[in-house]
A = this chain, B = another copy of it.
Amino acid sequence: MTATPTDERAQQARPKRADARRNEQTLLDAAAALFVTSGVNAPVRDIAARAGVGVGTIYRHFPTRSDLIVAVFRHQVEACVAAAPRLLAARESAHQALAEWVDLFVDFLVTKHGLASALHGDNDGVDTLHTYFVGHLVPACGLLVAAAIATGEIRGDIGPYELLRAVGSLAAGEGQADDTAAESPAERAYDARRMAAVLIAGLRLS
């Protein structure tokens, strides 16, 4: 244990092979493209084929599908996290900031085919995905919730975790077979943003 040089991983214990780095990026691009057209549950073989690699290569770089999804959406999640304090500072009311942030979050989820559903872990290795999202977004959401509680705008017995889960669930509902162009008054199509807004409204103290 002399100086444990391996701890200094930042000093590239040994950089990955060139083709490995190239393949990782290629895979990310292929996955991102396929996620748009076929949703986050696109077959592994398809992603591999699109990237021009074998399936083994995918599993080496991204052991579980969650790892791949997280890698693809990392930037957008971080942007969402960063928006929380910004909104809080820019808006007059904390509740208003929370509402807008939730809208942002829902927008992010519904524009990715099945991302919200994937969060719901029907599958097995979804832990990574869930953990990542919770780990990053709960603090951001918590900031806004705490602020709104402090100003007495919303009830104090709802935690950011459950709120996030609820909003995520509402977002998962969108994207079904809903071609009722009729738009009749009482049978309006499902809109996750609207329902999320209702939920946030329900947080208010009477």
- Scoring A146, A172, A195 by chain B CB atoms within 10 A of each residue's CB, the highest score goes to A195
Q: Which of A27-67 contact B (CB under 8 A)?
A: 41
Query: When the two chains form the complex, which single residue of B120, B169, B185 contacts A159, counting CB atoms closer than 8 Å?
Result: B185
Taken together, the copies of this chain in the complex come to: 2
Task: Give the Cβ gap from A71 to chain B, nearest Cβ, in Å.
Answer: 22
Task: Give the Cβ gap from A42 to chain B, nearest Cβ, in Å.
Answer: 13
Is A190 in the interface zone, CB < 8 Å from B? yes
Task: Give the Cβ gap from A41 to chain B, nearest Cβ, in Å.
Answer: 8
Is A74 in the interface zone, CB < 8 Å from B? no
Contact A177 B117, CB 8 Å, known A200-B202, A203-B198? no
Measured CA separation A187–B164 after assembly (Å):
11
Query: When the two chains form the complex, which single residue of B160, B189, B190 contacts A186, counting CB atoms closer than 8 Å?
Result: B160
Give the total of A residues in contact with B, Cβ under 8 Å.
45
**Which B residues are CB-close (under 8 A) to A170?**
166, 169-170
**Which B residues are CB-close (under 8 A) to A146?**
186
* Closest B residue, CB atoms, query A122: B117
**Which B residues are CB-close (under 8 A) to A145?**
186
Is A112 in the interface zone, CB < 8 Å from B? no
Measured CA separation A188–B168 after assembly (Å):
16
Is A194 in the interface zone, CB < 8 Å from B? yes
CB<8 Å pairs between A and B, sample of 20: A117-B120, A121-B177, A130-B176, A146-B186, A158-B198, A159-B185, A159-B186, A159-B187, A161-B189, A161-B190, A162-B190, A165-B190, A166-B199, A169-B172, A169-B173, A170-B170, A198-B199, A198-B202, A199-B199, A202-B203
Q: Which 10 residue pairs are nearest across A and B when measured between Cβ atoms?
A: A202-B202, A169-B173, A201-B202, A198-B202, A166-B195, A159-B186, A165-B190, A169-B169, A159-B188, A162-B190
| Further contacts, 5 of them, CB under 8 A, given A169-B169, A199-B202 | A41-B122, A142-B186, A162-B189, A198-B199, A200-B202
